[in-house]
Structure 1
Amino acid sequence: MRRSPWATLAVLAFAQFIVVLDVTIVNVALPDIQTDLHFSAENLQWVISAYTLLFGGFLLLGGRMADLLGSRRVFVIGLALFGAMSLLAGLATSPGMLIGARAVQGLGGALLSPAALSILTVTFPHGRQRNIAMGVWGGLAGLGGTLGVVAGGLLVDSLDWRWVFFVNVPIVAVITVITPVFVRHVAAARAGDRAFDAAGAALGTTGLLAVVYGVVRAEPAGWSSPEVIGFLAAGVILLAAFVRVEARAKAPLVPLGLFRSRALSTSSIALGLNGAAFLSMFFLTSLYLQQVRGDSALAAGVHFLPMGGAAIAAAVLSTPLIQRFGTQRVQLGGAALGVAGLFLLMTADAHGGYATALLPGLLLFGTGIIGVGVPAQISAVVDVQRHEAGAASGVVTAFYQVGGALGLAIVTTLSLSRTNAAVAEGASHQQSLVDGFHRGLLIAAIVAAVNIAVTLASPQLTPDAELIAEAAAVA
């Protein structure tokens, strides 16, 4: 049966669209979720972190499973898991139930996303057609992040927070039904080639979860408590075991030899820090807009739109700027803009106008986050061997997701500690939230500022248009 490659692209890109959409659509629903399910302030961030940690932690394993079991099969399995957990999340009656559903939903995303990308690379021949297809793929994914906050606001205000999850179910059902019609079967690897590093995925993800849990528990239990020290120590031990397993595995999830490339190493760190700053700012500002300024969920979503527009404009301008000035200079400019944007957001209080107190910071931050991300992604893959480009792309994507989850845990913990301290000092509830918001943004700004140092340590690469297109196709 002959299938149109563009129809295949439409199916796969739309699936990726909802995976990215789910990262941002939930943010504006957080205050309603907290009230309805009685989340504590320190545990609310798990609604975001559970998804991003499992997504990032199992992303590389998902790509390996696609190679071993067949890309279309793994794509459908991931899609079905994502849809089923979306339904369960919408039906959640307790914090634990919602967090568990979000974690497995992230696992579903980690299976379907690399499988979809794998199918695209064999559907379109190398060159112009593949570059166009990857541009559509990346564009729809970026659009999903921008539209998520508005879609979430509409659903929360018009229906209920549960619909930010329920909306996935009919979409997933349709994509699952039409996939065999429009997406061709991609053969699995030969039986002799089926090395499978499940131990690496389990150790890496469990270690990260232990570290994040230890950080989150630091506020209510104290940094010196046996519980916090125990979880942090266990996380470090598990992550050390992960590195040891990867060094000896026949088919490691993370080929450690890749990190001999200075460009890949610095890009991975830069993207991890970028993810930490972005998720932290998004989480804190979503709560600030609704709990301090009294925005509805929809109004909060609309207030984020200019940042999304700035990010899209920055993505369009990045390629010519990189060709002219090189990756390091563009990335340095992006890091500086991100820091400036966060400091501007720190001037917002409970009463200032949106146009003067928030909009300038959001525009600068949206530009800066892409100004770091695009050159870092290009640097990560343009400096490695062609046959390792896919693995390099998977590594930096995983760093971005995992860095976001770890950064969010640290920033929200320190933000909450400032809020609680302000309450103890006699400040009003609203002012205490503002103080916590400012503390969290300050920590996020410090994280973003570290990216300036990382960028200065990165090599200056000036790829031509063809190399940038190839890098974008796998980044």
Structure 2
Amino acid sequence: MTTLNTSAPGNVTEADPRRWWVLALLSGLAFMILLDMTVVNVALPLIQDGLGFSDSGLTWVVNGYVLAAGGLLLLGGRLADVYGRRRLLLIGVVVFAVSSIVCGAAVSQGMMIGGRFAQGAAEAISAPASLGLIALLFTDPKERTKALGIWGGLVALGGTLGYVISGVLTDLTSWRWIFFINVPIALAVLLVLPRLVTESKMVREQGHRLDVAGAVTSTGGLVAIVYGLLQVAENAWDSAAVLVPLIGGVVLLLSMIVIERRARNPLIPLTFFANRTRSVINLTSLFFMAAFISYTFMLTLFEQHVLGYSPLQSGLAYLPLGFAIGAGIGLGTVLTPRLGVKLVAGGGFAGAGVGLILTSMVDVDASYLGGILPGMIVFGVFAGATMPAATNAALHGVTVQDSSLASGVQSTMQQIGGALGLAVLIPLAIRYTTEEVARGVAVEAAVTSGYVLAFRIGAGMMILGGVLILALFERVDPELRDPTAEIVGGTR
């Protein structure tokens, strides 16, 4: 069987219909990985009872994944570029499958937390390689926009359907199956991908060495910052538990900048950030994911703690969000070539902010149809519309050898954004609730007011992101092809 050649763009890959099968396979893998980020949320109480976690210990079932994924994504992107995207992708899939089995079979807290750390590391290894392969398989700008829209759509659906699948599995079977369901998808990727895709990596010069010092300082700095942000949920901002890792992370990242300026073969060439479009979309990805992750997290708590939904009801309540995101992605995929990345991404951010404002109008007597659903639909459609445009912008002007690095940077910013949203908005909601209760407000009303405050802050972050995109994005015609065929991605 012949394989698709991904060693360079502009080859037979462009006309080979099997590239769509590869896209389906990679999209399914991305769906599975992001699904596992959110699928545990509804099942956390059952995991706590089954393994005897304390309230504080239970947070590590989520935090372990975020720490490993957020801290190692940049390194994973560069390893894929240097040592081969297919190789790193397959390694990541193996690690993810094994760690999923470990989590599903966990009989102790340490076994569960270790498995979650390993799952996060597997995402850091495989996600940048996966997106890098997509960028190389689809070299035509219109086709790439469509392919990235499909990929981003399944990723987004994985994030939202995690709540639905978790509710169904935990009600009908056991929480252990939220991890075991990953294994068949991983096996399919391992069996099929090597038959369809050749190896793809940058050409290494004689004596080329990976920038180990840059890898250590960047990874250590990101892990420390993510860890510090997560500590805010249980500690004050001026506590040692928060300040020490945050300051340490900043020092490590500043050290990385010095190292990268002097390195012969830097892990992250500083010129990578010279492109204004890429820099702005990575910055605004922080706002997007902070608002998105905290929205789904807090809405789940509101439904179960205030409105009295069961886990299954809460999970099924997210189905319209998944459909809305899918519709938005389709709309964004169609509009991006016509209107350009700037208008689609900027308008999508602002529209998603409006959806959060609508959501912030809920109260203790809110109905699903009149209180939750309108904001959910608006938020989902506009958030989905941004996804193909944002992914295209993240790859704008990127050379072939840096394609996985570019996707790693974007994924890292998304992970950091999600951690930021949970670490900052949730404590704000809790503290506001406490103040309201102290003033004599009923507990359910006070809890709802805390969520409302957080929804509105998230809306402000989304709208700010849209303003930055509209003001700072470059304008590049997506129909123009770079004559050297060494650039992936084009935006307008």
TM-score tier (shorter):
0.7 to 0.9
Letter of the structure 2 residue corresponding to residue 66 of structure 1: A
Deviates more, 1:90-99 or 1:339-348: 90-99
How far apart, CA to CA, are the structure 2 residues paired with 1:108 and 1:423? 43
Q: Which amino acid aligns with 1:153?
A: G
- Decide whether aligned partners of structure 1 residues 198 and 103 sit closer, same or farther in structure 2, where only a CA change above 3 A counts: farther
Q: Which residues in structure 2 correspond to 1:442-457 (within 5 Å)?
A: 442-457=456-471
CA shift digits 1:206-246 (9 cap, x unpaired)? 32333333334345443333333223222221222232233
* Compared CA separation, residues 213 and 147, structure 1 to 2 (3 A): closer
Instruction: Name which of 325, 346, 356 aligns with 1:342.
Output: 356
TM-score norm. by structure 2 comes to: 0.82
**Residue in structure 2 matched with residue 276 of structure 1 by the alignment:** 290
SS at match of 2:395: helix
- Cα distance change of structure 1 residues 349 and 30 upon mapping to structure 2, 3 Å threshold: farther
Letter in 2 for 1:107: A
The answer on 1:115 being equivalent to 2:129 is yes
User: Does the alignment pair 1:90 with 2:110?
Assistant: no
**Within 2, Cα distance between the matches of 1:44 and 1:416?**
18
Q: Any conservation in 2 of the 1:342–1:442 contact (CA below 8 Å)?
A: yes
- Stretches of structure 2 that go unaligned for 5 or more consecutive residues are 5-17, 482-486
Does structure 2 conserve the Cα–Cα contact (< 8 Å) formed by 1:322 and 1:462?
Answer: no
* Contact 1:215–1:413, Cα closer than 8 Å, also in 2: no
Q: How far 1:108 sits from its partner (Å)? A: 0.6
2:424 aligns with 410
User: 364-373 vs 302-311, which deviates more?
Assistant: 364-373
2:127–2:408 CA contact under 8 A, matched in 1: no
Alpha-carbon distance between aligned partners in 2 of 1:447 and 1:43, rounded to the nearest angstrom: 30
The match for 2:455 among 438, 441, 446 is 441
Q: Distance in 1 between matches of 2:98 and 2:490?
A: 30
* Alignment counterpart, residue 414 of structure 2, candidates 388, 400, 405: 400
Which structure shows the higher helix fraction?
Answer: 1
> How far did residue 299 of structure 1 move?
2.1
Q: In the alignment, what sits opposite 2:2?
A: 2
Residue 205 (structure 1) shift: 3.2
**Deviation, structure 1 residue 427:** 5.5
Give the deviation of 1:377 after TM superposition: 3.2
Within 5 A, what are the aligned runs for 1:360-375? Answer: 360-375=374-389
RMSD: 3.5
Question: Could you tell me which residue of structure 1 aligns to residue 210 of structure 2?
Answer: 196
1:255-275: CA deviations, max 9, x gaps?
221222222221111112111
Does 1:152 find its partner at 2:152?
no
In 1: Cα distance, 2:383 partner to 2:315 partner: 18
Structure 1 counterpart of 2:301:
287
Aligned mates of 1:118, 1:39 — CA distance in 2: 38
Give the alignment partner of residue 155 of structure 2, picking from 127, 138, 141.
141
- Would the aligned equivalents of 2:290 and 2:419 in 1 still touch at CA under 8 Å? yes
In 2, are the aligned partners of 1:197 and 1:249 still within 8 Å (CA)? yes
Would the alpha carbon gap of residues 289 and 242 (structure 1) be closer, same or farther in structure 2, given more than 3 Å must change?
farther
Which sits farther off after the overlay, 293-302 or 7-16? 7-16
Moved more, 193-202 or 183-192: 183-192
CA distance in 2, matches of 1:408, 1:454: 23
Aligned to 2:42: 28
Q: For the residues of structure 2 that align with 1:181 and 1:384, how far apart are their CA atoms?
A: 27
How does 1:251-262 map onto structure 2 within 5 Å? 251-262=265-276
| Correspondence for 1:333 | 347
The structure-2 alpha-carbon separation of the partners of 1:120 and 1:69, relative to structure 1 and needing over 3 Å to count, comes to same
Give the equivalent residue in structure 1 for 2:277: 263
CA-to-partner distance for each residue in 1:75-122, whole Å, 9 max, x for gaps? 222111111211222244566653442222111112122333445566
Tell me which residue corresponds to 1:210. Answer: 224
Q: Is 1:166 the equivalent of 2:180?
A: yes
8 A Cα contact 2:77 2:404, kept in partner: no
**Contact 1:310–1:367 at 8 Å: present in 2 too?**
yes
Structure 1 position 129, deviation (Å): 7.4
The answer to whether the 8 A contact 2:70-2:226 is kept is no
Matched, 1:226 2:240: yes
Amino acid of the residue matched to residue 172 of structure 2?
S
**C-alpha distance in structure 2 between counterparts of 1:381 and 1:461, whole Å:** 14
Long gaps (5+) in structure 1: none
The residue number in structure 2 matching 1:72 is 86
Q: 1:19 to 1:93 in 2, by over 3 A?
A: same
One-letter code aligned to 1:317:
L
Q: How many pairs align?
A: 473
CA distance in 2, matches of 1:35, 1:2: 51
Deviation at 1:158, TM superposition (A): 0.9
Deviations 1:166-196 (A, max 9, x none): 2213432454345545554557865836522
Q: 1:104 and 2:118 equivalent?
A: yes
Q: Could you tell which deviates more after superposition, 358-367 or 391-400?
A: 391-400
Deviations 1:285-339 (A, max 9, x none): 1222223222233322221122222222222222443445443333332222222
Q: TM-score, normalised by structure 1?
A: 0.85
Measure the CA separation in 2 of the matches of 1:133 and 1:332: 21
Paired AA for residue 334 in structure 1:
G
Q: Which moved more, 1:59-68 or 1:99-108?
A: 59-68
